[in-house]
Structure 1
Amino acid sequence: MTGFLGQALLYIVPFLLVLTFIVTIHELGHFLVARAFGVKVDRFSVGFGKTIVGRTDRHGTEWRIAWLPLGGYVKFSGDLDASSVPDQAGLAELRQRVIAEHGPGAERDYFHFKPIWQRALIIAAGPAANFLLAMVLLTGLFMALGEVTAAPRVGQVAPGSPAAAAGFLPGDLIRSVNGRAVDEGADVTEIVMLSAGDPLRFVVDRAGREVQLIATPVRQVENNAIAGRVRVARIGLGIQPLRSDIQYRRLNPIEAGARSVERIGSTIGGTLTYVGRIFAGKESGDLLNGPIGIAKAAGGITQQSAAASDDPTLSALNVLINLIQLAALVSIGIGIVNLLPIPVLDGGHLLFYGYEAVARRPVPARVQEVGYRVGLALLAGLMLFATWNDLQKLSLFKFLGGLA
């Protein structure tokens, strides 16, 4: 029993720490921009449920830490409905109530009576804070650790694989894939993983001679210590750089910042490409993770990082570095998801504001209600799909046709 509890804590605690930290920064983005525009805020909560500790600042905002650490929220004064976009009737009622309670002019401090551009910036500040957080975390890691690049040198070629059929040989140095220059093995892996069933044109350096090869990635099931059982595209190459292929250099703050922006851009691009391939029927969505998958990744990273060294200090440092990398990746993901044009998300609010800017009036209440319900259904469906993937990766429900 003790061992089970220990394993559960190993997976749950890092997940909750990472998630709560990231969501708090997201909500802080909304809050700071709202405060800059003079919006009245009732509450900023870290966690949900009953208050553990709290205080009210001089602006009348209640700051609190709640007992359920599953993120947090910011509540603007005057929020009338779940979508936070009242229609004309709702705005008129709110205006009358505020004026009756606080006098004429008090409504100017409320979020819903701010200009559209201010409201849009306040909403967009949440996802922007996620991307900024990822940039800060990655920049710090690049500055502290420097950058290691390992050229994509072929070490092994699996017999009978697409790579073997294409003519790859051990010792080949991959220079480009489909015209895109590659500097390290991770670049090749990313392209291959997002190209199942699509022929890829490789240019390799073979003993100083340029050779062009074509290989088509095929999906295969792998047991990953962190991700679980996943179906990914491979061509059967084992990347094994020589000592001379590995380079290390320290990065100054500007270089580190540029590399972090490049990493965020490639992550966003890869995510959008993968989602596009799902809708095109070229991917099954196996790599989409829900809360269970993120928790498993957090626990697996913590366990592997701690076991990497016998020195407790080095183990703790290794755990910290890898959890920071995970936090940056999850933060990017949360930023992307929140920008989806679904009414219950920030992107849906921005969509409503776009309509309001063009039509010069808020979206009608009936349309908002329908949009809200559809948005909830879409979001619930996405969460169920991601959770189903997570359970399949844990080898559950195998009898129902899971990964085999």
Structure 2
Amino acid sequence: MSDRDTDGAVDPEGAVPAPVPFLDLHGVHAALRDPLNQAWSAVLGHGRFINGPEVAAFEGAFAEYCEAEHCVGVANGTDALELILAGLGIGPGDEVLVPTNTFVATAEAVVTVGATPRFVDVLPDTLLIDPDAAAAAIGPRTAAIMAVHLFGQMTDMPALSALASKHGLALIEDAAQAHGARFAGRRAGGGGVAAGFSFYPGKNLGALGDGGAVVSNDAALVGRIRQLADHGRSQTDRYGHEVVGRNSRLDTLQAAALHVKLPVLDEANRARAAAVAQYRKSLPAWCVPVGVHPHAEPVYHLAVVQVPDRAATARALDAAGIGWGIHYPVPCHLQPAFARYAVEPLPVAEAAAEHILSLPLSPTLTNEQVERVSRVLDSAGP
């Protein structure tokens, strides 16, 4: 065994340095084990595993957290977006503007309701939707704009809101990666007609399985979404089904776990921000973090950088036992599933897709770990 660690620094004890995980879910949950066990026991005790009291309690707490009026829990974040579109009556014949730099779930939701995604390019610094590109893509069939808050940073909501108002479009927030983020002082979830959140375990507010929510100030829309998500059931007659719906409910156990984790979300987000600030100080100059809009307050779901040679950088991280990811290597308009919706090249997203790399980031990430990642990157530089 070598007496040097994998980033080249001498280890006086000859020990192999511990790996740096891409996401430390074990550490995230360690401090919450007791309250999570109590929540589990409470649900086991009453046995209402569907629509138990924890669901309504979490819905109320999360709406308040998002500074919005209403919340309805659903099965996952993709369903949340799809149900918003369906609740708005968007479907065949309609187009929805979607930034091509997003997870495919955003586009999936549009296609699933029968609408057409119109992919648009992103800004070169933040890699979020370009409002000017969105404006240029509006046509006679455009019904909505998907404002995707990617990597934990909200997109320019005032610009998109003005655009939507000018053309009579619905502005929908895909806030799957932005729990607690703000733009111009306003939190994710309160700037559009509705917002879809994901509680996939790796999210800033993650469940212990799948989960999602819709947040909105529109009571009528939330009522329609709640009905659609519960088999189209009448709100006054349990055995009456007024519309064709689906089964998309937030399980009681997941709601209970989320309610335990919600009070520590801001603290966890601050820890993420501190880690990214440390990255910015210690990363080599050729490793460039994505930009932050001056009016944005990100929650840093991901620590995304652009590097000249991603393959070589990834090999160096692998050799050092450091986790990494790519979000996302193929823009949506170049994915085979959505190729028929690609109408033009989107050069900013296409160029960035060759160079983006996500570094380790968790609320538990230490300065020492950040420094180690940075040393490895420095040693692998061009």
Q: Same fold (TM over 0.5)?
A: no
Of Structure 1 and Structure 2, the greater helix share is in: 1
TM-score band, normalised by shorter chain: under 0.3
Of Structure 1 and Structure 2, the greater strand share is in: 1
Higher CA-based Rg: 1
**Normalising by the residue count of structure 2, what TM-score does the alignment of the two structures yield?**
0.21
**Normalising by the residue count of structure 1, what TM-score does the alignment of the two structures yield?**
0.21
